[in-house]
Structure 1
């Protein structure tokens, strides 16, 4: 079983990413269950605007990233919160994944079926549940299965400030929630592998 995290931070490598660090809690718990894991920091790649799987321009890297997305049994979208919204990077990813709605395998099964998805959110103010709802709703439309408690988040209290997940001492709830997220993602992915969702009636 393989899990992929798309880290949708606005920060380019090698700048530290609070969002990536929190996502690693979930990935680490999955690795303990024998799942192979990888992370892609999307902003390090050229992903053109669009709603197609094919390259939009000569430099568009989405087709290669798409292959890695579809090679994963478990997909995690990790995003910071800005202005109470998921990052623009995460929205661009979801827009490109819109193409999955009309794509099927050789048996007529939508390409996102029989894969599970989770969400990780960090931010400097409230808005995590809104971001989880926005990302999770899009992933459901695309065809991903989402177990209960398929997310974790960390938010600083009210007022302006930086994302502080990496330096805060208040991590216990977020870590335990992240481990529950991993457990549920693994359980449902295992169930789908044993009893996959068939192609929808025509």
Structure 2
């Protein structure tokens, strides 16, 4: 069974505080479960102490080593986050920065720890920037060995200069649900193929 791990990169550190990223990740998680994938409990990254740096362990108090282990124990990474100032938020960028060390953690065939694993993005915001955020995420993830499937992102943005959040909608827009299903299907399919036939390196 394909296993997926959602990371909520909201700027809100309190897990009890609702976030639109959580709402989007719930839609995506349902889509993955509909494809017979196992979806682990969402990790609220801002609630952890993910230190700045580009190693796999930045010393005492760094929560990245344990999160790194959890990420790599799954077949699919669902990186969810909000748009701030028309780009992906700083918490998601911290996660991406910490994976930079994968470039030097290769096996005998030159494969990074993320080789053979799939990543997708779940983006929310009430301003422009969804495509730019996806571009940032996908370029960074691809650089450090992740595979991006066709239709690798599901996003929602509200009216320009508006104040409505995704979590406050009365219902999930049909196109969001449809895109989540396509993304989950493609990602689960690709992860299944890679699980049995990793890249040669």
Q: TM-score range by the shorter chain?
A: over 0.9
The equivalent of 1:71 in structure 2 is: 73
The equivalent of 2:48 in structure 1 is: 45
Normalised TM-score (structure 2): 0.93
The equivalent of 1:178 in structure 2 is: 180
Report the CA distance between 1:101 and its aligned residue: 1.2
Q: Is residue 30–residue 182 contact of structure 1 (8 Å, CA) maintained in 2?
A: yes
Deviations 1:101-138 (Å, cap 9, x if unpaired)?
11124654221100001001000111101001101110
Poorly superposed stretches of 4+, deviation over 4 Å: none
The equivalent of 1:7 in structure 2 is: 8
The equivalent of 2:131 in structure 1 is: 129
Distance 1:170 1:13, change over 3 A: closer
Q: Is residue 154–residue 165 contact of structure 1 (8 Å, CA) maintained in 2?
A: no
Normalised TM-score (structure 1): 0.93
SS in structure 2 of the partner of residue 158 of structure 1: coil
CA distance in 2, matches of 1:94, 1:81: 15
Q: Is residue 35–residue 184 contact of structure 2 (8 Å, CA) maintained in 1?
A: no
CA distance in 1, matches of 2:116, 2:161: 41
SS in structure 1 of the partner of residue 82 of structure 2: strand
SS in structure 2 of the partner of residue 114 of structure 1: coil
Q: Is residue 122–residue 165 contact of structure 1 (8 Å, CA) maintained in 2?
A: no
Mean alpha-carbon deviation: is it higher for 129-138 or for 190-199?
Answer: 190-199
SS in structure 2 of the partner of residue 196 of structure 1: coil
Choose from 84, 102, 105 the match for 2:104: 102
